[in-house]
Amino acid sequence: MFNKSFKIGNRMVGEDQPCMIVAEISGNHNGDYNRAVEIIHAAHEAGADAIKLQTYTADTITIDCDKPWFMTPGDGLWAGRTLHNLYEEAYTPWEWHEGLMNEARNLGMEAFSSPFDPTSVDYLENLNVPAYKIASFEINDIPLIRKIAALHKPIIFATGIAYEEDIKLALDTCRQEGNNDVILLKCVSAYPTPYNLVNLRMIPTLAKEYDCLVGLSDHTPGSVIPTGSVPFGVKMIEKHLTLDRSAGGVDDAFSMEPSEFAEMVKNVRIMEEALGDSEYKLTDKQVKERSLSRSLFIVKDVKAGEELTPDNVRSIRPGIGMHTKHYEEVLGRKAKTDLEKGTPLSWDIIE
């Protein structure tokens, strides 16, 4: 059983906590340190709880080779390039990490990263990161996962391309190292992700099957999917953030702009507030509003001894008279005294 509540830095993540919202910076800095700083400030202003970097170089994540299997597949955003060439463009210089993370921390956000090889883990440990994210393409890198798990810091797994056996093996590795602070992120490795591939119903399945916290790493356009994930129990939402989607960077095209990110945060917080709890009960306001419900009233003047009929007794608003369930029971009874139109019916005024 994995822990259902733990800290990432100074922030609690867990069942009774608001969803932790993470702004993924990725390669959206487009090689400009100042742009990366601007994105971090935009994340803060939009309401993000944390920022995430990616820690690799082209040579730590792959090799410089143009054999067919080192080419990006398909017809997506990065088709027709070697992996090495793509990662050369997308990587975040390691010498930037400390400054960017300090920038985020000074703004009150947490800052962590996705490492892609053992040397990047060692580097991040020197920066005292509070957690690690494992990208879905690395979920089968058991030596890497074991090294991170042994640090006893929270581990966040994206599940985009993972088979069930990949998830199970990764989590078993964490258990073997005594690390029970785990989050599984529902993820689709398509950039951008079509809505019909999202499958939000899988989120509670992940939580139940693996008995751990769950979240969402989302690449769909807009904030509908992140907001809609909240009722399914997510405790972390990760979205890519850029300053300008048309800037031409490797991840810009499927990333959120600051105003969209802020709208997402707002909608997620509204959804969290609206969820309430599962017990059926009225709020104090609803209890007060019951006075405007239906009840039995005298709707025409009635003389003492006069019979009550459908003509002079009705179920109307407000709800301060006799309950409507007694309607058939009171018909045919007689008024004890003269009753004016608008008198709420009660047992003590009829016989």
The pLDDT of residue 16 is above 80: yes
Q: What is the mean pLDDT of residues 192-198?
A: 96
The residue ranking higher by pLDDT, 245 or 89, is: 245
Q: What is the pTM of this model?
A: 0.89
Instruction: Tell me how many degrees the CA angle 337-339-343 measures, rounded to the nearest 5.
Output: 135
Percent of the chain with pLDDT strictly greater than 70: 98
Using the CB atoms, write b or e for 223-243: b if 16+ within 10 Å: bebbbbbbebbbbbbbbbbbb
pLDDT given for residue 1 in this prediction: 81
Q: What is the DSSP string of 140-154?
A: T-HHHHHHHHTTT--
In this structure, are residues 202 and 174 in contact, taking their beta carbons and an 8 Å threshold?
Answer: no
**Per-residue pLDDT, 55:** 97
Taking each helix axis as running N to C, give the angle between helix 164-176 and helix 142-149, from 0 to 180 degrees, rounded to the nearest 10.
40
Residues in the chain: 351
DSSP classification of residue 214: E
Name the band, by pLDDT with cuts 50, 70 and 90, for residue 90: confident
Angle formed at CA 225 by CA 180 and CA 209, multiple of 5 degrees? 35
Question: Per-residue pLDDT for 50 more than 90?
Answer: yes
Residues 251-278, mean pLDDT to the nearest whole number:
95
Residues 116, 56 contacting (CB under 8 angstroms): yes
pLDDT at 164: 97
Per-residue pLDDT of 301-335, as tens digits, reads 999 999 999 999 999 999 999 999 999 999 999 99
Averaged pLDDT of the chain:
95
What element of type H or E holds 197? none
Say yes or no to pLDDT of 86 above 90. Answer: no
The Cα 313–Cα 342 span in angstroms is: 10
pLDDT on residue 188: 95
Q: Residue 248: which pLDDT band, with cuts at 50, 70 and 90?
A: confident
Task: Taking residues 202-229, report their average pLDDT.
Answer: 97
Return d(Cα 210, Cα 168) in angstroms, integer.
Answer: 8
**Which domains, and CATH codes, for the chain?**
11-56+91-275 (3.20.20.70), 284-349 (3.90.1210.10)
* pLDDT, mean of residues 223-230: 98
Return the pLDDT at 80.
Answer: 72
Question: Which long-range contacts (C-beta less than 8 Å, at least 24 apart) are formed by 280-284?
Answer: none
Please give the backbone phi and psi of residue 194, each rounded to the nearest 5 degrees, phi first.
Answer: -65, 145
- The answer, yes or no, to whether residue 78 has pLDDT greater than 80, is no
Phi, psi of 82, rounded to the nearest 5 degrees: -75, 150
